[in-house]
Amino acid sequence: MLNAFWWGHGNGNRRGVHWLSWERLTVPKYLGGMGFKSLKAFNMAMLGKQAWKLLTHPDSLITRLLKARYYPSSDYIAAKVGHNPRFVWRSLWSVKAVVENGLQWNIGSGTNISVWNPFWIWGNYSIPRFADMNNAMASLKVSDMFVPNMKQWHMENIFILFDNNSAQQISRTPLYSSVQQDTPMWKLEKNGIYSVRSSYRSIMDNSLTVQQHKLDDNWKKIWSSNVPPRIKKFIWRVTRGCLPTRLRLHTRGVVCPLQCPFCSEDEDSTHALFTCPKSAQCWQ
């Protein structure tokens, strides 16, 4: 029978975790993983913090150098990776999707935000471009949709220029008189400031690996229960099928009998812990 005492003490904790792949262990706890830090996602979140400064600190030396070299006529979001880029720029450019996922423009004057920029309308809505768009429409700014000399949407012109759905989305976008300049804000934090924590969480929530390995269930019941941490980990191992029962060992290539040594039933987690007569005696 499973030696539960060996499994719960000493190095057994670390050996037991290895029954699941590292990708499954990095899945957040509330999705069925152990919440181990994904170094790849954490590195992307750290790089995202540096890339965010290219938007929020346009006058810094590094921003001016990179802009002059890689995107002299646009901004970081619209920049291309370029030909034979340096490692620093290639790394910063690779996390553009991370920055875009949390970017939301605070509309001030509106003169620095293009209408076709997808990050100024609240609700992650992007206005579709016209197929035969002239230069005037291509260079349209958000400020062009204001009532003259007022910070207010000119809804009559907006409904003329755009389809009904786009116009409705624009009308729902708030304009605050207290905001004087067009500034990027990090919408994943209430204070609008980029944080590695919220960025990492967003990366993991949108990770294909997490989507493949997550298990939708009420895992919070385990981690919020009022029991010692080692008991929580043991319960988690039971629910994830990580205990070295005979059936589990057999699936891992270990040659051993499948039957419990005390009875004739196959030994899985349920049998080893509950249905075996010896287990029942132990619990009593």
CA pair distance 116, 21, nearest whole angstrom: 43
CA pair distance 104, 123, nearest whole angstrom: 10
CA pair distance 36, 214, nearest whole angstrom: 14
Note the pLDDT of residue 50.
95
Domains of the chain by residue range: 4-37+214-283, 39-209
Note the pLDDT of residue 10.
38
CA pair distance 118, 116, nearest whole angstrom: 6
Note the pLDDT of residue 66.
94
Average pLDDT by consecutive 10-residue portion of the chain (284 residues)?
38 46 87 90 96 93 94 89 91 94 91 87 82 81 90 91 90 88 92 95 89 86 92 88 85 84 85 85 82
Q: Which two tokens stand for residue 95?
A: 């996390």
Residue labelled with tokens 């619209």: 78
